[in-house]
Amino acid sequence: MTKGYSPKILETVKNGDPDSFGVKFAKFCIAKKLSIDFVSKELGVTRMTLYRWFNGCDIRKKNREAIKQFMDSFAL
């Protein structure tokens, strides 16, 4: 389902703030092998937005809720 993440983004996530919701989300996506294209389409955001979140940038409340629901859908 994924083409893989670049070494740069993997390093950024690895060294990111472990308390950041965006970094936690990135780790989830990487662990589940979910492509950026797939996740961005499912959440209705751009790939650039996902990369910003993965880098620890703030995520709006409505998007946090959508992300939580998205993650829960994989917890089955």
- Among candidate residues 52, 46, 45, 49, the one with its CA nearest the CA of residue 13: 52
User: What pLDDT is recorded for position 75?
Assistant: 77
CATH topology classification for 7-73: 434 Repressor (Amino-terminal Domain) (1.10.260)
The pair of structure tokens assigned to 36 is 């950026």
Can you give the pLDDT of all 76 residues of the chain as single tens digits?
446 899 999 999 999 999 999 999 999 999 999 999 999 999 999 999 999 999 999 999 999 999 999 999 997 6
> What pTM was estimated for this model as a whole?
0.89
User: What pLDDT is recorded for position 76?
Assistant: 63
Quickly tell me which residue has 């492509």 as its tokens.
Answer: 35
User: What pLDDT is recorded for position 27?
Assistant: 96
